Amino acid sequence: MKLFLCSYRTAGLGLRLSIRAAPVDYYDVGKNGPFENGRRFHRIQTIRSVTEEISVSQRILSISGLRGVVGDGLDPEYIVRFAAAFGTLLEGGRIVLSRDGRATGELIRDAVVSALQSTGCEVIDAGIASTPTCGVLVKHHQANGGLQVTASHNPIQWNRLKPFTKEGSVFDRNTGDRFLEVLNKGEFNYKDWSGIGKVTFLPDSWKPHLDKILSLVDVELIRSRKFKVVLDCNHGSGAILGPLLLEELGCEVHLIGGTADGQFEHTPEPTEENCRSVGQKIVSAGAAVGFVQDPDADRLAIIDEAGRYIGEELTLALCVDHVLATRKGPVVVNGSTSRVTADIAEKHGCPFSRSYVGEANVVAHMREVRAVIGGEGNGGLIDPEIGWVRDSFLAMAYVLEHLAKTDTSLSEWVAQLPSYAIIKDKIECVPEAVPVAAAALQRAFEDARVTEGDGLRLDWEKSWVQVRASNTEPIMRIIAEAPSTNEAEQIIRQSRAAIEAVLR
């Protein structure tokens, strides 16, 4: 067995632990924490303290897919097993395959194609395309499912396989559990020479997605405004469809990172810190708005005409405000999303509810209540009219349509919305530390209304704080929102102090 030497530092706690371990699977089991239904986060050694992060070469495996560092846990052999399990689960048939522009994407694509063909699947290779485009293509080509190769906002050394159902949505829990059962059993439906599937290369894979977006907005009205727009694709897959969409809408596009090669110009997550240079370019270009996509283009951050970072949280809020003006119905967001969306739904007289964090949970709840719009506060808009997947392109089109209809600036529109300050913090730790942190937080804020299940959320009349384990990284997220930045920062400081006191 090959061994790897690795180490991990716990931020803010001054702790470091180095171990030797083989690659292991890190099971993200979702809403009920690390011990749901007898499964747990598998680690090589016993954890002596909740503050000691066991860092090993690892794969993060969950119902929403497989991710890891290529060459350090995410290897071709396991990729083949994953894809073979996917082909076996779907009993062959047509599968859409696409990828973002990372250098490792082609390697993973080759391993996936081999496994899918071997299980009798017909592979529709869409080449480099965004995650929402993959979801659209699954429905458009009446495929049995889809696989997107992308690590989203993770650093360049990471990659991922994200599976889709025949509805073009991420796996729900039942489908995900069945998939993991097939993968763990390892009994794959390999075909003989006569049953091997074929591969079809799809030209202009972006077109069905573009056509669907254009059908939902007033194209001529947007064109009449001739908006100047700065678009930062950051060398991700958004560079394929993003400029084409904006040009179709009559925009003068100032493009940043317009080659989909995965060579990121800045840290890939579209946070305020990572988008500062974009704001300067918006002002110098005299643009009406700036859009910043993450590498697989399912999330969108927005910057106004003055170069101010509007952020990811308001992406969903702005789109909800625009859509509910003409299309009434329920709205669904996750438990970590700003309350401004709840206020907007109330303004429009529409029902509002929250799901657990995670795209699969949001989609499942949207289906349950027949929501007309929903999403997550990470810049992820979900509109069933396009598909059951987060979509940055549709968000751009909705924002431009609203600006065209109302003849207002983006900053003026934002000023009309309820104002809150939301702060997102994190502590690197093992998943087993989260229940300990949650209990400490509850003791520190005994006057709050308690919601358990997806970590812990504490609510007051106009503010809240949540602590939960990340679905995608070995970290604990702490999110607080209040009417002012000072109040939100105070909640974060008190929360960190309470948590760090028990994790020392």
Residues designated as active site: 152
Judging by DSSP bridges, how do beta strands 373-376 and 65-69 pair with one another? unpaired
Degrees, nearest 5: CA angle 175-179-184: 150
Judging by DSSP bridges, how do beta strands 93-99 and 145-149 pair with one another? parallel
Contact 108, 183 (CB under 8 A): no
The 3-state secondary structure of 114-151, one letter per residue? HHHHHCCEEEEEEEECCHHHHHHHHHHCCCCEEEEECC
Contacts of 268 (CB under 8 A, 6+ apart): 152, 153, 154, 155, 156, 234, 236, 274, 294, 295
Judging by DSSP bridges, how do beta strands 58-62 and 24-28 pair with one another? parallel
Which CA distances in Å does 23 have to 71, 105, 161? 10, 21, 17
Which CA distances in Å does 460 have to 342, 343, 359, 452, 465? 15, 15, 26, 15, 9
Contact 311, 340 (CB under 8 A): no
Contact 19, 54 (CB under 8 A): yes
Distance, CA of 452 to CA of 435 (rounded, Å): 10
> Residue type at 247?
E
Degrees, nearest 5: CA angle 239-243-246: 145
Contacts of 438 (CB under 8 A, 6+ apart): 452, 455, 456, 467
Q: In 119-192, where does DSSP find H-type helix?
A: 131-140, 173-185
DSSP 221-236: HHHHH--EEEEE-TTS
As beta bridge partners, residue 6 has 19
